[in-house]
Structure 1
Amino acid sequence: MFREIASNEIFTILLVIALAIIAIAKLTAPKRFEDFIFVIGNSKYLKIYSKDQKFLDKFDALLFTNLIISASIFAYIIYQFQFQIKSISINTLFKFAIGIGAFILVKVLLERLIGSLFELDKILDQYIFQKISYKNYLGILLLPINAIMLYSFNLTLTLIYIMITILLIVNIIGLITSFKTHQSLIKQHFFYFILYLCALEIAPYVILYKVFII
């Protein structure tokens, strides 16, 4: 069992690690990173790099690691605020990281399985790449958000709602971009699209919310 600590030292260490991971990603592929930073409102990155995507991609893996770290910190900050917890349990923080990572990976693998079953591998691979790209972008966006919530302001419910709203807007932009890219296919199979949307885009987050509240 990990010990509990009463300061933000562990958060500072994790933020520095996350920054180092992003720096490594930039050094690994500087041109790709430059295109990635402008992925919101610009489909250039998605069009270029979706063609060369691999199942195990070093660049995406680094950004995904940052996403797990940053999302875990964000979730734990809200958890602390919700239950008025002063000390920091590394054990609980670790569980958040494992839970978030497992949730995203299982969801992606399930979507790939569905793509194989219905022979939609190419289309779903592009769609999944787009979603992962936007999630990784959220991971970078979470770094300054976490820093603000930890060090700059007295944390309030209003501030939490503002930060969550910003993240939701970015996520919705990502979904809309993905849907616009495949709108002709969606129109042809609208029923299956609604079924997919409810089963794999809405239901998992509702379940996750219920689990978190419990």
Structure 2
Amino acid sequence: MEPIARTFGQTDWITITLMASLLFPIIAKSIYYPRFLNFIILPFNNKYISMYTKKEKLFNWFHFLMSVFQVINSTLFIFFIWRSYFNPTEAKNPYIFPLLLAGVFLFIGTKTMAQLFNGFIFNSYNTFNELIFKKLTYLNYSGIILFIANVFLAYVFIDSKIIIIIALILFLVINIIGWITVLNNYQKFISTYFFYFILYLCALEIAPLVIMGSFLK
């Protein structure tokens, strides 16, 4: 019997990526089980937000683990969007996903640092820290949706545009809930710095999305 040469295809590295990303919530669950349970019901109950906003905020291991999980799956989802809608030929390039992953890490990291820097400028670091924590918590939760979508896009409904649209809608719904929570909790702060808040939205929320959309094209 002659050995059969097997090529390392896209499904292989996608499987490895999905399994690797899954390690992070598994570790988070095993170490921070009560916190993980509160996190899972986040869209239906804001107990997680009320319990942990004042305690550890951005810089804690649970938040870090779930953020890495979210970033990996966000990047993989962006890859599927790019492959399905924009450039299926170049998507076969083995360097595309690592470049996208580095770009998303850099994007979120730079954006977060810029937002915290705004907190220093307005002498409201703690408020900005809490605000960013809440937004990123909902973003991290949406990583679960993207993980499920990625599994479907990789193995069940391969590159299905319907799955992509459904996942995007759910992603937006979860993050809109997060934004509504932030706006409700910080109405007084926002009204005090309303002009700067509009500048913040344009510079650090809308503009980066436009840039990312232009990059995908």
Normalised to the residue count of structure 1, the TM-score between the two structures is 0.90
Deviates more, 1:16-25 or 1:75-84: 75-84
Which of 60, 78, 82 is equivalent to 2:81?
Answer: 78
Give the whole-Å Cα distance in 1 for the aligned partners of 2:146 and 2:158: 18
Higher relative contact order (CA 8 A, sep 6+): 1
Q: What amino acid maps onto 1:17 in structure 2?
A: A
Which residues of 2 match residues 61-100 of structure 1 at below 5 A?
61-82=64-85, 83-85=87-89, 88-100=92-104
Which of 48, 52, 63 is equivalent to 2:51?
Answer: 48
Cα displacement (A) at 1:175: 0.9
Give the whole-Å Cα distance in 2 for the aligned partners of 1:71 and 1:179: 24
Cα displacement (A) at 1:48: 0.9
CA RMSD of aligned residues (A): 1.9
Verify: 1:26 aligned to 2:3, yes or no: no
Instruction: Give the corresponding residue for 1:152.
Output: 156
Cα displacement (A) at 1:161: 2.0
Cα displacement (A) at 1:145: 0.9
Cα displacement (A) at 1:154: 4.2
Q: How many residues align?
A: 210
Instruction: Give the corresponding residue for 1:112.
Output: 116
Which of 38, 46, 60 is equivalent to 1:57?
Answer: 60
8 A contact 2:83–2:159 mirrored in 1: no
Give the whole-Å Cα distance in 2 for the aligned partners of 1:54 and 1:160: 31
Give the whole-Å Cα distance in 2 for the aligned partners of 1:87 and 1:97: 14
- Using the aligned pairs only, state the percent identity: 32
What are the Cα deviations for residues 127-162 of structure 1, in whole angstroms up to 9, with x where unaligned?
011011111111122111111111111433333222
What are the Cα deviations for residues 27-53 of structure 1, in whole angstroms up to 9, with x where unaligned?
110000111111113221111111111
8 A contact 2:24–2:69 mirrored in 1: yes
Unaligned segments of structure 2, at least 5 residues: 1-6
Give the whole-Å Cα distance in 1 for the aligned partners of 2:90 and 2:112: 35
Give the whole-Å Cα distance in 1 for the aligned partners of 2:155 and 2:162: 16
8 A contact 1:25–1:63 mirrored in 2: yes
What are the Cα deviations for residues 168-201 of structure 1, in whole angstroms up to 9, with x where unaligned?
1111111111111111222333222222222211
8 A contact 1:7–1:87 mirrored in 2: no
Cα displacement (A) at 1:60: 1.1
Which of 34, 38, 59 is equivalent to 1:35?
Answer: 38
Unaligned segments of structure 1, at least 5 residues: none
Normalised to the residue count of structure 2, the TM-score between the two structures is 0.89
Instruction: Give the corresponding residue for 1:190.
Output: 194
8 A contact 2:81–2:164 mirrored in 1: yes
Give the whole-Å Cα distance in 2 for the aligned partners of 1:125 and 1:101: 19
Runs of 4+ residues deviating >6 angstroms: none
Verify: 1:126 aligned to 2:130, yes or no: yes
Change in CA separation of 1:172 and 1:55 when aligned onto 2, cut-off 3 Å: closer
8 A contact 2:57–2:133 mirrored in 1: no
Give the whole-Å Cα distance in 2 for the aligned partners of 1:26 and 1:81: 33
Q: What amino acid maps onto 1:153 in structure 2?
A: F
Change in CA separation of 1:189 and 1:54 when aligned onto 2, cut-off 3 Å: closer
